[in-house]
């Protein structure tokens, strides 16, 4: 469909999707969200997309007999649109190797920790249980591992003594909403250079 088109995959409430809708809507990101796909019917993310008139597609994971059937349907859906970039935003599944290979270098994810620390589920709880004093979030390209792809951007915040997973998540989320649109903007402006595991940003002054 075009280089500056974005498909967002989301399973839940979709606040990161919202930040991408807002920053594409106001022109900060030179691109357009053309489709939102969810594996969960009724996900709040779908409502956020509909409110903006963005096309949505539900691939209800529970209706597919095998994971491979779901993956095939997802590839077909993405092939229809041929997006320039796919953003995972609270998408609670591991993207299979077929999709990663097909859209290599064009899939991003945001994760609520400073990777490689605390990959996988409940990153904020993991950070609290480990006792770190600083955590944050990471935008990275997606490879076939879990939260292991080349890191595009990271930013940090303190862990406070009274934090619970929820209060920490809320602090991190504020950073996420700034960082993810920033990474997508750089991608669409062709300012990201991937050198093996290292991603350089060719923004003037950085």
So which residues are the catalytic ones? Answer: 111
Q: Does 191 bind ligand GRF (CB under 6 A)?
A: no
Q: Which is nearer to ligand GRF, 59 or 110 (CB)?
A: 110
Compare residues 5 and 16 and give the one whose CB is closer to ligand GRF: 16
The interface region with ligand GRF, picked from 8-16, 22-30, 31-39, 190-198 by CB under 6 A, is 8-16
Between CA 105 and CA 150 the distance in angstroms is 10
128 part of the interface to ligand GRF, by CB under 6 A: no
Three-state secondary-structure class, residue 183: helix
Q: Is residue 181 part of the contact set for ligand GRF (CB under 6 A)?
A: no
Instruction: Please list every residue from 93 through 112 that binds ligand GRF, using CB under 6 A.
Output: 110-112
Rounded CA-CA distance 111/41 in Å is: 23
Query: Which residues between 43 and 72 bind ligand GRF (CB under 6 A)?
Result: none
Tokens linked to 183: 């990474």
**Contact residue for ligand GRF among 54, 89, 95, 128 (CB under 6 A):** 89
Decide: is 15 part of the binding site for ligand GRF (CB under 6 A). Answer: yes
Taking CB under 6 A as the binding criterion, the range among 10-18, 76-84, 153-161, 193-201 that sits at the site for ligand GRF is 10-18
Which pair of tokens denotes residue 166? 């929820």
Count of residues interacting with ligand GRF (CB under 6 A) = 14
User: Measuring CA to CA, which residue among 180, 193, 172, 103 is closest to residue 143?
Assistant: 103
Separation of alpha carbons 26 and 72, rounded Å: 34
Tell me which stretch binds ligand GRF (CB under 6 A): 5-13, 79-87, 96-104, 192-200: 5-13
Sheet (strand 83-88) strand order:
55-58, 32-38, 2-9, 83-88, 107-111, 134-141, 151-158, 198-201, 192-195
- Positions that interact with ligand GRF (CB under 6 A): 10, 12-16, 89-90, 110-112, 137, 173, 176
């Amino acid at each position: 469909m075009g280089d500056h088109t974005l498909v967002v995959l989301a399973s839940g409430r979709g606040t990161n999707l919202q930040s991408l809708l807002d920053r594409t809507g106001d022109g900060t990101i030179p691109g357009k969200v053309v489709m939102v796909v969810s594996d969960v019917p009724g996900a709040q993310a779908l409502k956020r997309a509909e409110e903006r008139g963005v096309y949505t597609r539900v691939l209800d994971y529970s209706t597919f007999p095998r994971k491979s059937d779901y993956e095939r349907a997802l590839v077909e859906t993405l092939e229809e649109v041929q997006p320039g970039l796919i953003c995972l935003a609270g998408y609670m599944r591991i993207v299979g190797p077929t999709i990663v290979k097909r859209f290599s270098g064009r899939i991003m994810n945001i994760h609520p920790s400073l990777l490689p620390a605390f990959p996988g589920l409940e990153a904020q709880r993991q950070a609290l249980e480990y006792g770190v004093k600083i955590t944050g979030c990471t935008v990275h390209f997606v490879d076939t591992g879990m939260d292991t792809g080349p890191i595009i951007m990271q930013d940090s915040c303190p862990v406070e003594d009274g934090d619970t997973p929820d209060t920490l998540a809320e602090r991190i989320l504020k950073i996420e909403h700034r960082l993810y649109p920033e990474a997508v903007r750089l991608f669409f402006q062709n300012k990201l250079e991937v050198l093996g595991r290292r991603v350089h940003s060719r923004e003037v002054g950085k």
